[in-house]
Structures are given as C-alpha cells and as structure tokens.
Chains A and B, each alone.
Chain A
Amino acid sequence: MRHLLSVADLDRDAAVLVLDTAAEMAKTQGREIKKLPTLRGRTVVNLFFEDSTRTRISFEAAAKRLSADVINFSAKGSSVSKGESLKDTALTLQAMGADAVVVRHQASGAPHRLANAGWLDAAVLNAGDGTHQHPTQALLDAFTIRRHLRGPDVGDPDGVGADLSGLHVAIVGDVLHSRVARSNVGLLTTLGARVTLVAPPTLVPIGADRWPCEISYHLDEVLDSGPDAVMMLRVQRERMGGPGLAGAATSAGFFPSPLEYTRQYGLDARRLARLPEHAIVMHPGPMNRGLEISADAADSPRAVIVEQVANGVAVRMAVLYLLLAGDREKGTEA
C-alpha cells in the first residue's frame, strides 16, 4: 500500500490487517505512556482545504503518538487564499521533505491528483475529498462495528482477525452529499456486511442503484428488519446551496422542511426502542442534534459516537504505520 485514496484500494485481507493493526495501536493508547517511537524523524503534513475539527485533530494526534513531526496547513491564512495552485502547494511540500500528506479537499479527486501527478514522493492519505471518499472514517466505523458486534463471537475484545460477515448495517440520511456513506458502502461490503441505505429519494445519488447495497426510502421498515448497526449521516446543509445555515429555506428543495425530515428520517427515542437489543447507533459527527438525531438517541448507552472518535486515532495510527514505517519500495510483509 503506497497511498490510501479510496476504500477500493483495500481488499478484504488488507482491510482486516488495518483493523488488526489498529487494535494493537488502541491497546497502546490505554497506557500511561501513549507515545511510541515508531515514526521518529518522519514528517506528516496535514493539508486541509476544507474545515475540519475531528479529522485534523485525530490525524495530528495519531502522527504525534507515533513520534512523527506534524505540520498543519490550512487553506485559510495560507498562500492558497492568495491563489496558489494545488501543484505549487504540492511542490512546496515536496521541497520541505514531507513523508506523508494528509489531504482534505472540497474537490472530489484532488488526493488522487496529488498522489499520481508526480509532484510528490510522499504517501498521500485521503482525509475526505468532496462527495467522493473518506477512507479512514469508513475504517474507524468498521473497527467500531467489529469491536462491538464481532468481538464476543471470536473471543477477542477487538475482534482481531474477524471480518463483518453476517452483519447488517443501515446508513441513514443525506447519502447524496456523503463521502462517509460512499466509503462505508465500499468497505463494509468488502468486509462481508450487508448495507442498506435509507434516504429520501432526493438525497439518493444517481447511479446508487449500481452500488453493492440495498436502498430504502422508509426508515421504520428498515429498523423493523433488525439491523445490527445504524449509522446516521449529517444533513450537509452547507452543500445544499441556499442562503445559509439558518432557517427552513436552506434545504433548497431536497426536503420540504427540517421538521418533516426529522419525522421521516430522524432517529429519536421511539425509533431507538424498535432496534434489536444489541444494535449500536453511530454518527460520523458533527451532529445536527434535533435534525437527523435526537439528543435521547445521541446520548443513549447504545450510541458509540464518542468511541468512534477515540477509535479514529487508533485507526489513523495504523494507517500511518502501514504506509510509512517500512521500506516503501518493498511493500508489506506477507
């Protein structure tokens, strides 16, 4: 593995290796001394063209726990706001000796361009590009699902060695604008899970009928079918056009009103009670409390939303380790 651009870069065995490595990384995070010397002398650049709190902090924590040097670069307040091109930014990073570039960009495909244009020798990690992919989010979701739902079966608290076969995951909400949904459909099915997307017809992308998943417009029906995990997606009002974040008019025709969206597709205490006993509730964050998820559901003991954040650090440590620790010309040991 030279770059991590898309979950399509991972086959089942590679995905299980990342999750198993993450399990060992997670154990080190329970120690008094959390720092490991593994990536000493390596430089990781966080290149963020789009706002992010948890992903950037998570990558920064992961790199620092492995003793890499971290340089944060956000488009605001940099020469990008003066009109610098992606190419010139990449050449600058190359000249500074970056070993890995973690990139988030509003344009789908920007990380692929960075990785393949020949501007950089560094490993490129996609931290979210447009409405395309967010592979480390899918990996941390798979890690969280495996821990909760496969751990007990295989007799290991982290479910080491197991995939997700036999599990049913419902992904609910704004699929149209969600790279999290696209990445999860790919990765969870690679790992053997069955995925059902639930969204209003206006928020299902064209071509989604060819994805390896089922599609439903009715949340209650899917909840009654007994999914093992329910992943709520954020309604991405900033990608829906319209005048701004406030008010009902901002949904720009994707749904009639926030209240109606909540009634049809929001997870509340009543719907939570319909889920099987063992089912977990997930959300990639940041949450719109009261829109796609109620406070009751978000704060219930079944919600693993805060744990997803903690697992994010372990998964990103694993990815950085697998991309940077070894001799990159020789690949991964069998």
Chain B
Amino acid sequence: MTAAPTPGSREVLGPQEISRALIRIAHEVLERNAGAENLAVLGIPTRGLPLARRLAAVIADVEGVDAQALVGELDVTMYRDDLRRHPTRTIGATTLPAGGVDDRVVVLVDDVLFSGRTIRAAMDALADLGRPSAVQLAVLVDRGHRELPIRADYVGKNLPTSRTEKVAVRLVEVDGVDSVRIENEEGDR
C-alpha cells in the first residue's frame, strides 16, 4: 500500500522524526498535567486516531498505566461547518475510553492543524459527550493559516507553508509508511 512520493514534493519528517516528536509530546503532556491520572487521549479520524494510539502507548509506557484506558476516537463529521460545500461525507465511529470524558483532561490529537475548523467541530462534539475539566490539543504538524482563534498546546513540528502547498501525512497504520511531505499543488499538474 506504500504510496509513491509525488514528484515535486519534499519530505519534512521521516519515521524517526515522527516517533521522536510523539515521545517529546508525551512527556510534555505528562509534565503539564502532572501524570496520566484523569487523562483521556482522543484521536480525530482518520490519521489523528493512530497518532492518539501511539501517543497513549508512550504515555502508558512511561507511567506504567493501561494505554487502552486512555485512548478513544472522536468523529467530528456531523459537527463540521463545511458539510454543504462537499459531497456527503461518511460518518466515522466515536468511541470514548471507559468512564467517559467528564472531569478528565482531554487531549485531542490530529495530524495537521490548518484552518482550525476541524478542532472547532471537535470541541462542539466533545461538549455533547460530557464536560471535560480541560481540553488540550496535540498536533503532529502546525502549518499555519488559521481561520479561527485556535492554537495547539503540543506541536510535533511547525511547518511554514503557503496556501497552495499541500501537507501530506502518511502513517503506517493507514498508508503503510510514516512520512510527512510538502506537495506543491502546481507541481502536480
């Protein structure tokens, strides 16, 4: 399933860099929240979910807790503000860790932070599921160009991009390979 790199694209993160970034973020999460107690790590499908699982695994490893009890997935499709602009999207699953999200610190995990609209939708979805004591955001790549007042608490890599470029995150669980590439849309055509 390994996707061939698009000509005109360049790799900005490889498997090792992605792994290092996740380990660093895991430590930052633990430092900021003084441990893994009351923590829930929710991945936003598609690629936020494997990242959330990896992050939870590192946290569980460091703290000696069960990763399964930390991790969940949060589908935001039904909360998006751009549904009418696109073909009908398929709804994904939402699964919360046992005990729900009430009075826990929820760390939302996504692959790329861009306009901030997905995170806005995620916060609305989360509010319908319970009342976390705090919500934090971890992303693998922050590429800028925010359209809403949203920022990430934990960032794997800040990546200055132009709007015409595309940031392609590929993960082993979904795409068979770990890489982050910048693809120039004009270069493809």
B93 in contact with A322 (CB, 8 Å): no
Q: Specify which of B78, B85, B90, B92 is in contact with A36 (CB 8 Å cutoff).
A: B78
Chain B residue with minimal CB distance to A160? B93
A305-334 CB contact bits vs B (8 Å, 1 = yes)? 000000000000000011001110011110
Q: Specify which of B84, B87, B94 is in contact with A331 (CB 8 Å cutoff).
A: B87
Please report the C-alpha to C-alpha distance between residue A17 and residue B87 in the assembled complex, in whole angstroms.
14
Decide: A333 near B87, CB < 8 A? Known: A24-B93, A31-B128, A33-B128. yes
Q: How far is the CB of A109 from chain B (nearest CB, A)?
A: 27
Please report the C-alpha to C-alpha distance between residue A332 and residue B86 in the assembled complex, in whole angstroms.
9
Decide: A27 near B79, CB < 8 A? Known: A37-B124, A326-B89, A331-B87. no
A325 in contact with B92 (CB, 8 Å): no
Decide: A332 near B93, CB < 8 A? Known: A24-B75, A38-B78. no
A264 at the interface (CB under 8 A from B): no
Q: How far is the CB of A39 from chain B (nearest CB, A)?
A: 9
Q: Specify which of B75, B89, B93 is in contact with A333 (CB 8 Å cutoff).
A: B89
B98 at the interface (CB under 8 A from A): no
B84 in contact with A325 (CB, 8 Å): yes
Q: Which of B75, B83, B86 has the most CB of A within 10 A?
A: B83
B150 at the interface (CB under 8 A from A): no
B128 in contact with A327 (CB, 8 Å): no
A36 in contact with B88 (CB, 8 Å): no
B79 in contact with A326 (CB, 8 Å): no
Please report the C-alpha to C-alpha distance between residue A221 and residue B92 in the assembled complex, in whole angstroms.
43
Name the B residues within 8 Å of A38 (CB-CB): 78-79, 83
A322 in contact with B88 (CB, 8 Å): yes
A189 at the interface (CB under 8 A from B): no
Q: How far is the CB of B98 from chain A (nearest CB, A)?
A: 15
B128 in contact with A36 (CB, 8 Å): yes
A327 in contact with B78 (CB, 8 Å): no
Please report the C-alpha to C-alpha distance between residue A330 and residue B84 in the assembled complex, in whole angstroms.
10
B1 at the interface (CB under 8 A from A): no
A21 at the interface (CB under 8 A from B): yes
**Chain A residues touching B, range:** 20 to 34
Q: How far is the CB of B38 from chain A (nearest CB, A)?
A: 20
Q: Specify which of A31, A66, A325 is in contact with B129 (CB 8 Å cutoff).
A: A31
Please report the C-alpha to C-alpha distance between residue A326 and residue B86 in the assembled complex, in whole angstroms.
6
Name the B residues within 8 Å of A325 (CB-CB): 78, 83-84, 88-89
Q: Specify which of B79, B85, B129 is in contact with A327 (CB 8 Å cutoff).
A: B85
A327 in contact with B86 (CB, 8 Å): yes
B34 at the interface (CB under 8 A from A): no
Name the A residues within 8 Å of B4 (CB-CB): none
Name the A residues within 8 Å of B87 (CB-CB): 326-327, 330-333
Q: How far is the CB of A321 from chain B (nearest CB, A)?
A: 7
B3 at the interface (CB under 8 A from A): no
Q: How far is the CB of A34 from chain B (nearest CB, A)?
A: 9
Decide: A21 near B90, CB < 8 A? Known: A33-B128, A36-B78, A38-B78. yes
A24 in contact with B91 (CB, 8 Å): yes
Please report the C-alpha to C-alpha distance between residue A27 and residue B91 in the assembled complex, in whole angstroms.
12
A27 in contact with B78 (CB, 8 Å): no
Name the A residues within 8 Å of B89 (CB-CB): 325-326, 333
Decide: A332 near B78, CB < 8 A? Known: A24-B93, A27-B94, A37-B124. no
Name the B residues within 8 Å of A21 (CB-CB): 90-91
Name the A residues within 8 Å of B88 (CB-CB): 321-322, 325-326, 331-333
- The residues in B between 84 and 123 inclusive whose CB is less than 8 angstroms from any CB of A are 84-94
A22-66 CB contact bits vs B (8 Å, 1 = yes)? 001101100101011110000000000000000000000000001
Given contacts A24-B91, A27-B94, A322-B88, 14 further A-B contacts (CB under 8 A): A21-B91, A28-B94, A36-B128, A37-B78, A37-B79, A37-B124, A38-B78, A38-B83, A321-B78, A325-B78, A325-B89, A326-B89, A333-B88, A333-B90
Subset of 10 A-B contacts with CB under 8 Å? A24-B93, A31-B129, A36-B128, A37-B78, A38-B78, A321-B91, A322-B88, A325-B89, A326-B86, A333-B86
> What are the 8 tightest A-B residue pairs by CB atom distance, in nearest-first order?
A326-B88, A330-B87, A38-B78, A333-B87, A24-B91, A33-B128, A332-B88, A325-B83
